[in-house]
Amino acid sequence: MSETLELAKELIACRSLTPDDAGCQDILIKRLMRAGFRLEKIHRNGVENFWARRGNSQPVVCFAGHTDVVPSGPQEQWESNPFTPTLRNGMLFGRGAADMKTSLAAFVTAIERFAAEYPKHKGSIAMLVTSDEEGAAIDGTVRVVEALKARGELLDYCIVGEPTSVNKLGDTIKNGRRGSLSGALTIKGVQGHIAYPHLAKNPIHLSAPAISELTQTVWDQGDEHFPQTTWQISNICGGTGALNVIPGEVEILFNFRFSMASSVESLKSRVHAVLDRYGLDYDLEWTLSGKPYFTPKGSLVEAVSRAVKSVINVTPELCTSGGISDGRFIAEICPQVVELGPLNNTIHKLNECIAVADIERLSEIYRLTLVNLLADN
């Protein structure tokens, strides 16, 4: 049985429901210390993070990932216990198998093999791991990045092990992500009896024209790398539950997924302009979850693409679609960030799994990426 598979199974067996690490990082740290890494634990508010580095010079190649997983859902609907790694029909089943404990295992074995082959490699290898990616993500990678930035420790390249592959391992590299900007909007009215609407102000009715305009607004046209910015409502809550009461306010939660064609401030100002134009009495609180980032074709994209081509014999597609990842934080201290990992067709689902045949191939892709960037040849 492969070394990477064994390590992945050991990690999956840890019940690391976000933001609990459940011992995963200790397993990784022991392996990295044996490979000559200096370790720094950066814990914040019960969230476990670590920064590990081998070497003191540039360039710095960092592997980044998370040990936390989402809840399993109804365990009785799984074909095997989600926290008992199970081999069946050529697949490894378990929560985190694809997102993203196998990537963490592949990082470690790739590093070990590369360091043994090139003990005097140029530059440095680093690993950044958090247990707060699937949840609030406020005390995880962002805190490590803050610590590194404060002391001027910057990165040159970063590979995030998120499950990016669509149909075949390695077929998709994420070389950017859209930003995420959320709003919590409260429209104020006057509560009253539903039979006497002239004595009340229905905030749902009052807000309807503005909401309609916001849903139809074209925020930008995107650009050559990103689709156009989108605005979507995720939640609406208003009313007392009674059928004969006009509510006093309605709460609306919405989200922008935005490209580099729009700025945070421009999106905010345009929303306020619409609300103000309709004369609404409102409160609006904004939350910026991450700015967009983009890595153009260059040395990192080339190194990863060559590694994939060598192992899988496919040329990966570059893509910026999908949700957000911790790459948004790392991009603050690293000019080149990409994501590459297993197939994503079972992530967050019942019976999450990864093909056993892909596990060692993923490790080899990461190893060859290091060869392409740091080998002392």
From the list 20, 21, 48, 68, the catalytic residue is 68
Is there a contact between 18 and 133 (Cβ–Cβ < 8 Å)? yes
From the list 99, 133, 326, 352, the catalytic residue is 133
Hey, what are 214's tokens?
């916001």
Active site residue 133: yes
3-state SS string for the chain: CCHHHHHHHHHHCCCCECCCCCCHHHHHHHHHHHCCCEEEECCECCECEEEEEECCCCCEEEEEEECCECCCCCHHHCCCCCCCCEEECCEEECCCCCCCHHHHHHHHHHHHHHHHHCCCCCCEEEEEEECCCCCCCCCCHHHHHHHHHHCCCCCCEEEECCCCECCCCCCEEECEECEEEEEEEEEECECEECCCHHHCECHHHHHHHHHHHHHHCCCCCCCCCCCCCEEEEEEEEECCCCCCEECCEEEEEEEEEECCCCCHHHHHHHHHHHHHHCCCCEEEEEEEEECCEECCCCHHHHHHHHHHHHHHCCCCEEECCCCCCCHHHHCCCCCEEEECCCECCCCCCCCCEEEHHHHHHHHHHHHHHHHHHHCCC
Query: Which residues belong to the active site?
Result: 68, 133
